[in-house]
């Protein structure tokens, strides 16, 4: 961020009065620009013990598998974002069962939220951001081709079914993910 969206002056990075962090501040109109984590919302779509995964058609991690998920838009709830992303990426309509995982990823300023969802019928297709979409039995999940650590962790928790008595899994991933060579 270089220029003020209010008056077009060049911004400075400083700690505003009453704050404890550096922020982008306009010295002309005194507007403070807060940058906060982005929320990624998605589902774990399950049909008869199988999970629906999408092979990404976009960067980052094009060609790798993921759960249907994406950035939340203004004006929608986390559940609405997860349902929209599942429709967009997998052309699938699911019903949300429960919040499953909330994972903070501080090194990329994101929070990933996944909901356990039921795919009533195996009706799905390839959305604009997917190269392929398919159901995987637990033994066939392509672990070496997964796009993101948050998806790996969420799928492992789902497979281990260790959520008995715990409403949601909440944790963070602090190690940056290394790109496949």
Q: pTM for this structure? A: 0.85
CATH number of 1-35: 2.20.70.10
pLDDT tens, position by position, 89-130:
999 999 999 999 999 999 999 999 999 999 999 999 999 999
Tell me which residue of 68, 157, 150, 60 sits closest to 103, measured CA to CA. Answer: 150
Domains 1-35 and 38-172 belong to one CATH topology:
no
For residue 144, the SS3 value is: helix
d(CA 106, CA 174): 6
For residue 86, the SS3 value is: helix
| Residue boundaries of the structural domains of the chain | 1-35, 38-172
How high is the mean pLDDT of the chain? 92
- Protein fold of 38-172: Nucleoside Triphosphate Pyrophosphohydrolase (3.90.79)
């Amino acid at each position: 961020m270089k220029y003020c969206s209010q008056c077009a002056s060049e911004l400075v990075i400083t700690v505003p009065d009453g704050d404890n962090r550096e922020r982008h501040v306009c010295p002309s109109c005194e507007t403070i620009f807060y940058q906060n984590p982005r929320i990624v919302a998605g589902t774990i779509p399950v049909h008869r013990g199988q999970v629906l995964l999408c092979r990404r058609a976009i960067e980052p991690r094009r060609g790798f598998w993921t759960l249907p998920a994406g950035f939340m838009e203004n004006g929608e709830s986390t559940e609405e974002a997860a349902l929209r992303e599942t429709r967009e990426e997998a052309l699938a309509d699911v019903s949300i069962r429960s919040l499953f995982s909330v994972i903070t990823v501080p090194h990329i300023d994101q929070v990933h939220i996944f909901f356990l969802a039921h795919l009533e019928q195996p009706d799905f297709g390839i959305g604009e951001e997917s190269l392929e979409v398919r159901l995987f039995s637990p033994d066939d999940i392509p672990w070496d081709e997964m796009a993101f650590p948050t998806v790996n962790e969420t799928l492992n928790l789902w497979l281990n079914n260790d959520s008995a008595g715990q409403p949601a899994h909440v944790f963070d991933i602090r190690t940056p993910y290394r790109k496949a060579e």
